[in-house]
């Protein structure tokens, strides 16, 4: 299997088979919170892709050249959270300056990426993930995995937002409107993605 083949395998795994939201159940807060409108879901997705990619790069470097080098893996969580928090702050400033409307649409969920477990999950799993032949991820692999995981998150968020926008017009019992049907929808989507589990690439 050449590198492109490996990449395809990684993409399928990150987007469908081990999707961060629907298979690993990480990052559920924005999944339910920002999925009411397609526009803001798209904005959130882009922000998460950016943060995940950047976080993968930074945390990989920090992990390899600081933590592993000095045998300090036990500092992983705090170091990664620090990195991600700083990154999100940075992204927030950039978005506020360059895209105020997107900044408003994302609202409270942008700072929440700081504590988004999906971002931390990608960073930590990157340090543990291995290819089929047992070799660990290189820097490029880690960055790509972060990017593709972000794409998986965005895909699911957009699917959810698309369905929820249509559900607004559905004739539902009053008790089911809004969040209850959203939660049921989330469960059904997770079941649907469970179908990808059996895939062998």
Stretch of 28-36, 75-83, 142-150, 185-193 contacting other proteins, by CB under 8 A: 75-83
Which of 1, 61, 68, 86 is close enough to bind other proteins by CB under 8 A?
A: 86
Q: State which residue, 94 or 172, has the beta carbon closest to other proteins.
A: 94
CB of 92 to other proteins, least distance (A): 9
| H/E stretch holding 1 | none
Sign of the Cα torsion 163, 12, 17, 111 reads: negative
Measured in Å, how far apart are the chain's first and last C-alpha atoms?
Answer: 11
Which of 61, 68, 94, 140 is close enough to bind other proteins by CB under 8 A?
A: 94
Give CA separation, 128 vs 20, 42, 52, 154, in Å.
Answer: 16, 30, 16, 23
CB of 99 to other proteins, least distance (A): 11
Q: Does residue 101 belong to the site contacting other proteins (CB under 8 A)?
A: no
Token output for 105: 């649409």
Q: Residue 79: count other Cβ atoms within 10 Å of its Cβ.
A: 19
Question: How many residues form the binding site for other proteins (CB under 8 A)?
Answer: 19
Place of tokens 């997705």: 45
Q: Determine contact, residues 149/120, Cβ cutoff 8 Å.
A: no
Stretch of 39-47, 70-78, 134-142, 155-163 contacting other proteins, by CB under 8 A: 70-78
CB of 127 to other proteins, least distance (A): 16
Q: Where in 2-61 is the site for other proteins (CB under 8 A)?
A: none
């Amino acid at each position: 299997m050449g590198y492109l083949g490996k990449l395809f395998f990684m993409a399928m795994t990150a987007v469908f088979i081990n999707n961060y939201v629907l298979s690993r159940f990480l990052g559920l807060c924005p999944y339910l919170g920002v999925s009411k409108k397609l526009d803001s879901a798209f904005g959130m997705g882009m922000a998460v892709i950016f943060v995940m990619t950047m976080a993968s790069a930074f945390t990989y470097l920090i992990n390899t050249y600081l933590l592993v080098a000095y045998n300090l893996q036990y500092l992983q969580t705090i170091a990664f959270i620090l990195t991600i928090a700083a990154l999100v702050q940075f992204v927030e400033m950039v978005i506020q300056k360059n895209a105020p409307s997107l900044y408003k649409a994302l609202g409270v969920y942008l700072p929440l990426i700081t504590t988004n477990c999906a971002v931390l999950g990608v960073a930590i799993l990157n340090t543990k993930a291995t290819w089929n032949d047992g070799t660990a991820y290189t820097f490029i692999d880690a960055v790509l995995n972060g990017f593709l995981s972000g794409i998986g998150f965005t895909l699911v968020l957009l699917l959810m937002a698309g369905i929820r926008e249509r559900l607004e017009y559905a004739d539902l019992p009053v008790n089911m409107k809004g969040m209850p049907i959203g939660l049921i929808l989330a469960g059904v989507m997770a079941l649907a993605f469970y179908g990808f589990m059996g895939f062998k690439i």
